[in-house]
Chains A and B, each alone.
Chain A
Amino acid sequence: MEGETLVLTFAGDWLLAGQRTETNNVDTVLAEAEGAQRITYETSQLGTWDTGLITTLASIQHFATSRRIENDLTGLPEGAQGLLNLAFAVKEREGARREATQPRLAESVGTATLEFLESGKELIAFMGELALSVQRMIRRKATIQASQVWLAIQEAGVEALPIVGLITFLIGMIFAFVGVMQLNNFGAGIYTADLVAVAMVREMAPIMTAILMAGRTGASYAAQLGTMKVNEEIDALSTLGINPIDFLVMPRVFALILMMPFLTMYASLMGIFGGLVVAVSMLDITPLQYIVQTNAAVGLNTLFGGLFKAIVYGALVALAGTQQGMACGNSAMAVGQATTKAVVMGIVLIVVSASILTVIYINLGI
Chain B
Amino acid sequence: MKPATDMQPDTDNHIEIADLTLSYGDFLIQQNLNFNVRRGEVFVVMGGSGCGKTTVLRSIIGLKSPGKGQIRIDGNSIWDVEDEKRNELKRNMGVLFQQGALWSSMTLAENIALALQMYTDIPDKDIREICSLKLALVGLAGFEDFYPNEISGGMRKRAGLARAMALDPDILCFDEPSAGLDPISSKLLDDLILELRDSLGTTVIVVTHELASIFAIADNSVFLDPDTKTQLATGNPKTLRDECDNFEVRNFLARGEARE
Chain A residues with Cβ under 8 A from B104's Cβ? Answer: 227-228, 231, 233
Interface membership of A240, Cβ < 8 A = yes
B91→A240 contact, CB < 8 A: yes
**Of A151, A233, A237, A242, most B-chain CB atoms within 10 Å:** A233
Query: Which of A227, A238, A242 meets B62, CB within 8 Å?
Result: A238
Q: In the assembled complex, how far is the CB of residue A88 from the closest CB belonging to chain B, in whole angstroms?
A: 18
B90→A235 contact, CB < 8 A: no
Chain A residues with Cβ under 8 A from B45's Cβ? Answer: none
Interface membership of A40, Cβ < 8 A = no
Given A143-B118, A240-B118, A242-B118: A235 and B63 interface contact (C-beta under 8 Å): yes
**Of A227, A237, A241, most B-chain CB atoms within 10 Å:** A241
Interface membership of B88, Cβ < 8 A = yes
Given A232-B97, A235-B97, A236-B95: A241 and B90 interface contact (C-beta under 8 Å): yes
Q: How many interface residues does B have (CB within 8 Å)?
A: 25
The A-contacting residues of B in range 65-98, CB under 8 angstroms, are 86-88, 90-91, 93, 95, 97-98
Interface membership of B214, Cβ < 8 A = no
Query: Which of A145, A151, A239 meets B61, CB within 8 Å?
Result: A239
Chain A residues with Cβ under 8 A from B62's Cβ? Answer: 238-239
B103→A236 contact, CB < 8 A: yes
Given A143-B118, A240-B118: A235 and B91 interface contact (C-beta under 8 Å): no
The B-contacting residues of A in range 73-130, CB under 8 angstroms, are none
A241→B87 contact, CB < 8 A: yes
Chain A residues with Cβ under 8 A from B98's Cβ? Answer: 232
Interface membership of B193, Cβ < 8 A = no
Nearest A residue to B92 via CB reads: A241
Chain B residues with Cβ under 8 A from A242's Cβ? Answer: 114, 118
The B-contacting residues of A in range 222-266, CB under 8 angstroms, are 227-228, 231-233, 235-242
A145, B106: Cα distance in complex, Å: 12
Query: Which of A145, A236, A241 meets B101, CB within 8 Å?
Result: A236
Query: Which of B90, B118, B119 meets A239, CB within 8 Å?
Result: B90
Query: Which of A145, A227, A237, A239 meets B93, CB within 8 Å?
Result: A239
Interface residues of A (CB under 8 A from B): 143, 145, 151, 227-228, 231-233, 235-242
Interface residues of B (CB under 8 A from A): 58, 61-63, 86-88, 90-91, 93, 95, 97-99, 101-105, 114-115, 117-119, 163
- Listed from nearest, the 7 A-B pairs whose CB atoms lie closest are A241-B87, A232-B101, A236-B101, A232-B97, A239-B95, A241-B90, A241-B91
13 additional contacts (CB under 8 A) given A228-B103, A241-B91: A232-B99, A233-B104, A236-B102, A237-B103, A239-B61, A240-B114, A240-B115, A241-B86, A241-B87, A241-B88, A241-B90, A241-B119, A242-B118
